[in-house]
Amino acid sequence: MAPSFDDGNSLFNFVVRDGNGVKGMVDSGLSTVPQAYMQPPIERIDKDRARKHGHPPIDLSKLGGPEHDEVAKQIVRAAENLGFFQVVNHGVPVDLLESLKDTAHDFFSLPAEKKAVYRDDVSPTPLVKYGTSFVPQKEKALEWKDYISMQYTNDAEALQHWPEEIRDVSLEYLRTSMSMVRKLLQVLLENLGVKPEDSMIDVLVDKKMVNMNYYPTCPNPDLTVGVGRHSDMGTLTILLQDGIGGLYVKIEDDSKFGKKGEWVEIPPVPSALVINVGDMVQVLSNGKYKSAEHRVRTTSTKSRVSIPIFTMPNATAKIAPLPEVVEKDGNTLYKEFVLADYMKNFFSNAHDGKKSLDFAKINSA
């Protein structure tokens, strides 16, 4: 029996504690958004006022060919300005992208009890976590999103522990994405004057996670967010989004990409993947590359899925701006820290734009 969603406690118990998710709440029949999901006016998304990011996707098949330098420049420029770009000919088979989206829909359509076994406190494995919103215990307004997160350690453990309904496509996605991620990092590091040794790239992408996000249809999209303003904490994120749209990025500084503070939409492009720069790349580059502040809107017409791969260094890694860059710049914007400490701070606070980076800033209060 679905509870009254007007009562914050019973809503929390049903959606979060018992693992029914936003999906369970919507399926129980809902004509308006419960109070717990209403964003303060400043966080609401005015979709009619956002511009679409019109840059064509970058063709990665040209890396290593006669047009290498031009393509490398496009990647660098995007990472320096918006922190977001789209790529095609990325090496991930296009039919796999279709299967991933279908599989995500199928997974979230499973009965709640099938998904709820992976809730944080009861999951049979630390590698897999099913949840809703970001940090529900801390958020003033909840996010309209359910997700499952799968950490990668090695193939054998993934085969053993990841949910079997989504395991094989997710592993194949990860397997076919990683050489693209490495090539992108090579380009970004070379441009910083750093020799991109394989061993260094190994460190930057040591940890990998495949998530599936599910944004159910929402009766009041103007009052809610799918994901609130945040940057991703890791190295690079690879994101597969479906055709629904609603992913927005904030322009950090005035540039040819737009005006400071403006939100632009990253429109769905068939067979493309979205790449975004995470906080670690901003730190390593001493601020040259921008981790992008982004958020997702909800819609009343169709549920949306997205499937990100997060890459990051190992939790024990020490992170600081690269010495070559600091030497050239003559200053350092970020202190050295252990990644585990950064993560702890990141995952214990509600999303709040790029505030996560304050943890690493020198002279921050």
Where does this chain bind ligand OGA (CB under 6 A)? 211, 213, 227, 232, 239, 241, 247, 294, 296, 306, 308
Using rule CB under 5 A, residue 232 touches Ni ion: yes
CB within 8 A of 113, min separation 6: which ones?
Answer: 19
Pick the closer one to Ni ion by CB: 80 or 232: 232
Which does residue 80 touch among ligand OGA, Ni ion, none (CB within 5 to 8 A, set by kind)? none
Residue 135 three-state SS: coil
CA distance 104 to 200: 33
List helix spans (H) across 31-109: 68-81, 94-108
CA distance 35 to 16: 15
DSSP 35: G
CA distance 5 to 166: 31
Pick the closer one to ligand OGA by CB: 101 or 294: 294
Distances (CA, A) of 269 to 62, 86, 233, 276: 19, 8, 25, 15
- Least separation in angstroms between residue 315's CB and Ni ion is 19
CB within 8 A of 313, min separation 6: which ones?
Answer: 203, 204, 205, 206, 207, 234, 235, 280, 319, 339
- Least separation in angstroms between residue 232's CB and Ni ion is 4
Place of tokens 């996670």: 209
- Least separation in angstroms between residue 239's CB and ligand OGA is 6
Which does residue 142 touch among Ni ion, ligand OGA, none (CB within 5 to 8 A, set by kind)? none
Pick the closer one to Ni ion by CB: 192 or 274: 274
- Least separation in angstroms between residue 270's CB and ligand OGA is 16
Pick the closer one to ligand OGA by CB: 218 or 325: 218
Q: Which region, judged by CB under 5 A, interacts with Ni ion, from 40-48, 69-77, 172-180, 225-233?
A: 225-233
Beta strands at 58-59 and 247-250: parallel, antiparallel or unpaired: unpaired
- Least separation in angstroms between residue 310's CB and ligand OGA is 7
Which does residue 186 touch among ligand OGA, Ni ion, none (CB within 5 to 8 A, set by kind)? none
Pick the closer one to ligand OGA by CB: 71 or 184: 184
Q: Which region, judged by CB under 5 A, interacts with Ni ion, from 7-15, 29-37, 69-77, 232-240?
A: 232-240
Residue with smallest beta-carbon separation from ligand OGA: 306
Q: Which region, judged by CB under 5 A, interacts with Ni ion, from 24-32, 145-153, 188-196, 224-232?
A: 224-232
User: Largest Cα–Cα distance in the chain?
Assistant: 63
Pick the closer one to Ni ion by CB: 14 or 248: 248
Closest of 289, 323, 67 to residue 195, by C-alpha: 323
Pick the closer one to Ni ion by CB: 34 or 131: 131
Residue 146 three-state SS: strand
Which does residue 279 touch among Ni ion, ligand OGA, none (CB within 5 to 8 A, set by kind)? none
> Which residues contribute to the site for Ni ion (CB under 5 A)?
232
